Amino acid sequence: VPVRAVVERAPEVSSVEATPQSVVVRRCPGSTPAQVRATIVEESGVDAVELHWIRPGTVEQVSPMSGETGAHYLGALGPFDTPGDVRWWVSAVDIRTNRSASAPQVLRVGSC
């Protein structure tokens, strides 16, 4: 009797970082978004990589991240109109709909 087994693994999300780790509000001189980078390793193929963020009292926002080279993805976080903390994370979905997400991190948004 032939037997075939398939092991499903969720994408591996690693090396998640925002540069810089704090920014200033949009109206300040030198205000720029933080650049988020993540490494996604997936054996069956990546379907989508997304950057999620939320602030107290607001709804979650989601934007697609673009593939830089191979397993490296980039996204922009900001600019923001008001100071305060922004909680953010990266999610990945493979072509077989397996999902995973990084641990949430905090981007600090300061005033001028």
pLDDT at 34 over 90: yes
In the numeric block, the tokens 């490296």 are attached to 72
Share above pLDDT 90 across residues of the chain, in percent, rounded to a whole number:
79
pLDDT at 93: 95
Q: Tokens for 108?
A: 């600090």
Quote the pTM value: 0.89
Picking from 3-17, 47-61, 84-98, which range would have the lowest pLDDT averaged per residue? Answer: 3-17
24, burial (CB in 10 Å: exposed 0-12, middle 13-18, buried 19+): buried
Does residue 5 have a pLDDT over 80? no
Q: What is the mean pLDDT of residues 12-28?
A: 95
Among 6-10, 27-31, 48-52, 81-85, the minimum mean pLDDT is found in 6-10
